[in-house]
Structure 1
């Protein structure tokens, strides 16, 4: 009977017997008349052992010459081997090469980041990059599971929009047939506000685009966000959901992706502390922290990466900063009734110097106030008429937030730059591959 094709991740469940593995040659070595082939199949790694018991000397010599990343199909008997990757190895009986990989460009040596980014389509095969993207997948699944279990409805927001959400200076524009300019979405939030009036609790999950000419380690021009929106929730309800979600994501990764965190050599002790409640400070208190740490900053200034790092380093958990000045925040944020110069919003900064991963707020629900804000921000009223309708027909207080996937993944993985937290990064000087 032919050997069954199995995935390497399923081997601990199978434990023994003859199996077939289909994958790629990750590495190889030899010792005397034994050749060790380390094979990966996308789900894991296993050591295949070829000896004179099953092969000729000529065949063993040929195995030593197989280039790394050649694709192959192997058959062999499983056996436990604690010293081998994954705790099992395969006593090889057959080795069939599907395709030779001559002169594979990424070798077992140091390469520059630019070199690797130019070959991102190959770089994602490496152990570290593979581990990062598996953790990203777990983060996405955790978010979906958390919100779905709480009764949220997934609503897809459009990627092409007629207007700005976060400011007109960071828009990617294009000609939209005979209708003039359209823009790549900066956020699905405005559409989620419409959806929450229909479904109560909703979220969208998709790409967002910011034409910022920024080269910091926290910026991409294309990134992914999850954006929940909730009718009848105030800004404090909103923050409670945020800390529950972030804690759920982190604890889920700690539980499900231990192997990947080990590959990344991530110190998990700081992540184990990420449980509610998170500390909360006002914008004014954040300004005082920065001043005590030697920063030249005044009330009304916005925070950049350096300032966020200083603030977040004061805490061993994510920290909320709330009540920012209205003038440095978007038009749709609800002013504080007790101090209309500040808004009922929050940013959530990740610890260990990773900075903002969430921005959220209670939204303006009063029609006249929203109309006034559109004028103050010099935004074209005609493209926001549908948005104003939400305040004309059954308006209610409502709140929401956006969580950036790449920044969250970078923090959980302990990465220096968000470019490794997305499969194919888009930056100010990079749109290849």
Structure 2
């Protein structure tokens, strides 16, 4: 009986007969030889069916196979330097599981809306599979970095009684007799966890009810949110750049084949090594003025501004010390200049915009109470958050990484909708 294998592991079976469960990605024929492009989720391999070397039944079965038909294919694994995987299978047997008819996604070009309507099938294509593999590697690397650097994984709630940042872009639901909202950030809860565990991180879904249709926005996305007790703004920036460098180099090391499959310029990723350049908000404003942007001090940056700044660098760049008026209520003012806060946005190169936002948090209970009043936030609702300052307050900092924007940047994608298996956008809740 042939050994059962997956395509990813065929290098362990050179010269052996194996059986693989697979789908037909494509096929072509050259007279008395059929070439089956096989995929099984773990990789791709070509199966070669030679008419003179197989039974008539195997030959006819091979001829009947259509795109995305499923089968068990048996054959001998051999090295083939010309193939993408480095191996081929000389087919000796075929067991058809299901013959597919009129598969909706063909090698021809399809419109984006059509592909999104068939996202459940579009995921099977080589590029989309590669993106999902890279996404999985990014997730693995994120967890490996924090797990080996003294952080504890903590899961904040998805249903919350209020906003994390005092905004109104929330999804409302009923929690029995009370109002509740889908979380837009786990940060406030992670600050509480940091006071118990020192260094923590969360990794979970977040939701923004912003009616945005840009290529950078999703309604539902995943966030990584570390919080660190006894950590100031400068120390947090060092963690951020080391973290991003680690994640990017892990992808370069472990997903080179997938990066090549989607046509990514790997040399640009190899250059992502800490430290990263830094500029202040003031310096960014001055630079933008030289580039023809009419943006006043005190206004937040949009995508064109971030792209113009990022074009100066081949690494992510930190923009630090934003005006307090355009940042969240919990960010600590610069002691030497209270009109700006100890914060930073990390802007990815190549026009991918902000991938990290972080700051040192206010640890002074009196100042935080003043911020509540300025932002017209309910002291009753946030009393538990105030308790963190009343009982053993310490300097602490944290940041949030948007997973999907990071995947888009590392993969070099035009739109964030390809970075998540089933994207939720302004006009899409199906499939």
- The answer to whether the superposition gives a TM-score over 0.5 is yes
Give 2:275's aligned residue.
277
- Quote the offset at 1:295 in angstroms: 0.6
Question: For residues 83 and 340 of structure 1, what CA distance do their matches in structure 2 show?
Answer: 63
- Quote the offset at 1:64 in angstroms: 2.4
Q: Please tell me whether the aligned partners of residues 37 and 49 of structure 1 are also in contact (alpha carbons under 8 angstroms).
A: yes
- Quote the offset at 1:351 in angstroms: 0.7
- Quote the offset at 1:221 in angstroms: 0.6
Give 1:314's aligned residue.
312
Which string of whole-angstrom CA distances, capped at 9 and with x for unpartnered residues, describes residues 87-109 of structure 1?
21111111111112211100010
- Quote the offset at 1:13 in angstroms: 2.5
Question: For residues 285 and 85 of structure 1, what CA distance do their matches in structure 2 show?
Answer: 47
Q: Please tell me whether the aligned partners of residues 28 and 64 of structure 1 are also in contact (alpha carbons under 8 angstroms).
A: no
Give 1:48's aligned residue.
47
Question: For residues 12 and 309 of structure 2, what CA distance do their matches in structure 1 show?
Answer: 46
TM-score, scaled to structure 1: 0.98
Give 2:13's aligned residue.
14
Give 2:71's aligned residue.
72
Deviates more, 1:299-308 or 1:45-54: 45-54
Q: Please tell me whether the aligned partners of residues 417 and 423 of structure 2 are also in contact (alpha carbons under 8 angstroms).
A: yes
- Quote the offset at 1:338 in angstroms: 1.0
TM-score, scaled to structure 2: 0.98
- Quote the offset at 1:59 in angstroms: 4.4
Q: Please tell me whether the aligned partners of residues 33 and 60 of structure 1 are also in contact (alpha carbons under 8 angstroms).
A: no
- Quote the offset at 1:24 in angstroms: 0.7
Which string of whole-angstrom CA distances, capped at 9 and with x for unpartnered residues, describes residues 178-199 of structure 1?
1x21000010100110000000
**1:175 is paired with a residue of what secondary structure?**
strand
Question: For residues 2 and 298 of structure 2, what CA distance do their matches in structure 1 show?
Answer: 69
Give 2:383's aligned residue.
385
Question: For residues 296 and 14 of structure 1, what CA distance do their matches in structure 2 show?
Answer: 63
Which string of whole-angstrom CA distances, capped at 9 and with x for unpartnered residues, describes residues 88-146 of structure 1?
11111111111122111000100011110111111111000000110010001001000
Give 2:393's aligned residue.
395
Give 1:369's aligned residue.
367
Give 2:32's aligned residue.
33
Long gaps (5+) in structure 2 = none
Give 2:410's aligned residue.
412
Question: For residues 165 and 425 of structure 2, what CA distance do their matches in structure 1 show?
Answer: 19
Give 1:151's aligned residue.
150
- Quote the offset at 1:355 in angstroms: 1.0
**2:429 is paired with a residue of what secondary structure?**
coil
| Number of equivalent positions | 431
Long gaps (5+) in structure 1 = none
Question: For residues 302 and 171 of structure 2, what CA distance do their matches in structure 1 show?
Answer: 22
**1:169 is paired with a residue of what secondary structure?**
coil
Question: For residues 166 and 381 of structure 2, what CA distance do their matches in structure 1 show?
Answer: 14
